[in-house]
Amino acid sequence: MTTINLLPMATQDLLWQVVPSTTQKTPEERAAILADPGFGKHFTDHMVDICWSEKGGWHRPRVQAYGPITLDPAAAVLHYAQEVFEGLKAYRHEDGSIWTFRADRNAARMQRSARRLALPELPAEYFLDSIKQLIAVDADWVPSEGEASLYLRPFMFAKEAFLGVRPAAKVNYYLIASPAGAYFPGGIKPLSIWLSTSYTRAGHGGMGQAKTGGNYASSLVAQAEAYENGCQQVLFLDAQEGKYLEELGGMNVVLVTKDKRVITPDSDSILEGITLASVLQLATDRGYTVEQRPVTLDEWRDGVASGDVVEAFACGTAAVITPIGELKSADGTITMPEVADSVALSLRAELTDIQYGRGEDRHGWMTRLDG
């Protein structure tokens, strides 16, 4: 028997329908998953689904059982990839409460991505409310051990069955959640990065700033090259000149110098990372000078050779902050020096202390999701 609860939504105009799953995992099954969640393999019992149509706008917000989505074979997303997504996490604090980190930024980025893909913009308050609604039913899935979290994956795509090439008139927004441990199976061991000289990810005027599946599809062969060469991630260079650093397949890249500068690429074809923005703020607070500007591969190589560049790290929601140990390519390897006091690891500790409620949230980055 299905129960339907109507819960008032923060935004007056949508009324949530909550249809509890009848096939929820037992507490024992859930505990077994949470003991070793991995990344992106297991999903909670429920998901959010909100419809949009050209005529009706956003409507019928629903929390329902996690499960397959029925699509017409002519659904536009399957043909023209009109899709965007986001990635953020819910963290359990020691007192049991559940929080998220800078979700307003994810909401705004999803709107920017949607604009680029000619998709409707989900109002920021619906975005945050969708997370609160899902947490209200799946709170037990937020891990409480170690540095695990519940990875939240909002996404939206063109559902209209129509093969003409134009923005779809029917779109759905979904939110699923997946308990997550470390993104890299080796934990926070220094990464080997493969420099792709055969492929680029995005170019000027392309979709590089949008979080859309196509950018990840285009990274897969380069990522496969990385694996073949014993590396965990791929680094892309700019599409025009092939000499400026862009970003990794799923993370931003940062260099640290001996004279306390943190340097990261500025480009109109990379994702505006929320972890990156936060790391730059924490580094500024520590007295580092932040340089967000075009950065050449030569600058990295020469900087390491002269001793000026002392650290490099990857940052993103899934990876948090992970030191880079080497950058390999067909033309040679840049090997990062061993450091006694890693700035990357200490920034990681400071950031995760804020996220897990162990450190002061002095920038007001955390939002409570439960209660």
- Binding string, residues 246-265; x marks residues near ligand COI by CB under 6 A: ----x---------------
Residues 6+ apart with CB under 8 A from 42: 33, 178, 179
Nearest residue (CB) to ligand PLP, 172 versus 233? 233
Task: Identify the residue among 37, 87, 190, 213 touching ligand PLP (CB under 6 A).
Answer: 87
Residues 6+ apart with CB under 8 A from 106: 86, 87, 88, 127, 154, 274
Task: Identify the residue among 317, 322, 342, 355 touching ligand COI (CB under 6 A).
Answer: 317
- Burial (CB count within 10 angstroms: exposed 0-12, middle 13-18, buried 19+), residue 204: exposed
275 binds ligand PLP, rule: CB under 6 A: yes
CB of 252 to ligand PLP, least distance (A): 5
Nearest residue (CB) to ligand PLP, 302 versus 353? 353
Q: Which of 198, 93, 207, 104 is nearest to 147 (CA)?
A: 93
CB of 85 to ligand COI, least distance (A): 7
Nearest residue (CB) to ligand COI, 310 versus 354? 354
CB of 317 to ligand COI, least distance (A): 4
Nearest residue (CB) to ligand COI, 152 versus 195? 152
Count of positions on this chain that bind ligand PLP (CB under 6 A): 12
Nearest residue (CB) to ligand PLP, 100 versus 275? 275
Q: Considering only residues 211 through 270, tell me which ones interact with ligand PLP, judged by CB under 6 A.
A: 247, 250-252
- Binding string, residues 164-193; x marks residues near ligand PLP by CB under 6 A: ------------------------------
324 binds ligand PLP, rule: CB under 6 A: no
CB of 317 to ligand PLP, least distance (A): 3
Task: Identify the residue among 90, 119, 262, 318 touching ligand COI (CB under 6 A).
Answer: 318
Nearest residue (CB) to ligand COI, 61 versus 316? 316
61 binds ligand COI, rule: CB under 6 A: no
Tokens, residue 241: 């000149």
Nearest residue (CB) to ligand PLP, 76 versus 253? 253
Count of positions on this chain that bind ligand COI (CB under 6 A): 5
Binds 61: which of ligand PLP, ligand COI, none (CB < 5-8 Å by kind): none
Stretch that binds ligand COI, among 100-108, 114-122, 130-138, 313-321 (CB under 6 A): 313-321
Stretch that binds ligand PLP, among 73-81, 187-195, 238-246, 274-282 (CB under 6 A): 274-282
Residues 53, 78, 44, 271: is their CA dihedral positive or negative? negative
Nearest residue (CB) to ligand COI, 280 versus 309? 280
Q: Which of 76, 85, 75, 113 is nearest to 178 (CA)?
A: 85
Q: Considering only residues 281 through 320, tell me which ones interact with ligand PLP, judged by CB under 6 A.
A: 316-317
Give the chain as a 3 state SS string. Answer: CCCCEEEECCCCCCEEEECCCCCCCCHHHHHHHHHCCCCCCCCCCEEEEEEEECCCEEEEEEEEECCCCCCCCCEHHHHHCCEEECCEEEEECCCCCEEEECHHHHHHHHHHHHHHCCCCCCCHHHHHHHHHHHHHHHHHHCCCCCCCEEEEEEEEEECCECCCCCCCCEEEEEEEEEEECCCCCCCCCCEEEEECCCCCCCCCCCCCCCCCHHHHHHHHHHHHHHHHCCCCEEEEECCCCCCEEEEECCCEEEEEECCCEEEEECCCCCCCCHHHHHHHHHHHHCCCEEEEECCEHHHHHHHHHHCCEEEEEEEECCCEEEEEEEEEECCEEEECCCCCCCHHHHHHHHHHHHHCCCCCCCCCCEEECCC
Nearest residue (CB) to ligand COI, 152 versus 327? 152
* Binding site residues, ligand PLP, CB under 6 A: 87, 247, 250-252, 271, 273-276, 316-317
* Binding site residues, ligand COI, CB under 6 A: 87, 250, 316-318
